[in-house]
Amino acid sequence: MSTMMKAMRFVGDLDDEFYSDERQRDVWNEASAVALQSILWAAFVSAAILPWVAGRTGAWISLALLIVALLGSVITIAYANRRDVDVYLLSNYNRPRVVISIALYLVAAVGIIARLKFDSYQESSTWVGALIGGIVGGGLAIAGVKLHQQRGKRREEAEELL
């Protein structure tokens, strides 16, 4: 078992006797999923509001919230991947909750950039470049995920034919 998996087992307390009962484990896993999603929604809503109502200080807090949300998401996806569950293959991005969360994220990003903008042309052009790079990078990431999903579906279809 890798160091990462050992650390995740420790963090999640996965060796506890509590997990020996299947129903308890399933209910707890569902409750944990609801909690994670609730925390992500709270972070996105707060990050979208704070720069606009609390100025520069709110923008810095929003940035920290988005970084923490990203870190939690990356850990979740990495753990699932290590357990042979491809989250990208199974995800459906054409759902209202995904569109709303992306919109909140973008409102937060615009607010952060607007509040943390700099006075000189060189500094502001760096932020504009970062925003454009983020949009292009996000678009490429979405395209990459879609391509990965299509390849996975084709692989499954080929395996079914065998």
Tell me the three state secondary structure of residue 4.
helix
Mean pLDDT confidence for 22-34: 88
Q: What is the pLDDT of residue 102?
A: 86
72 C-beta neighbours (distance < 10 Å), count = 14
Spatial contact of 4 and 76, defined as CB atoms under 8 Å apart: no
The length of the chain, given as a count of residues:
162
- Tell me the pTM: 0.67
The beta-carbon contacts of 88-91 under 8 Å, at least 24 apart in sequence, are 88/145, 88/148, 88/149, 89/148, 89/149, 89/152, 89/153, 91/145, 91/149
Per-residue pLDDT reduced to its tens digit, 127-161:
667 777 777 777 777 777 777 777 878 887 778 87
Q: Sign of the CA dihedral 129, 88, 80, 3?
A: negative
* Cα separation, 45 vs 51, whole angstroms: 11
110 pLDDT band, cuts 50/70/90, is confident
CB neighbour list of residue 123: distance below 8 Å, 6 or more residues apart: 117
Tokens 């078992």 belong to: 1
Percent of the chain topping pLDDT 70? 93
In this predicted structure, the answer to whether residue 125 has a pLDDT above a threshold of 80 is no
In this predicted structure, the answer to whether residue 39 has a pLDDT above a threshold of 90 is yes
Spatial contact of 110 and 47, defined as CB atoms under 8 Å apart: no
- Write b or e for each residue in 47-59: b if 16 or more Cβ atoms lie within 10 A of its Cβ, otherwise e: bbbbbbeeeeebb
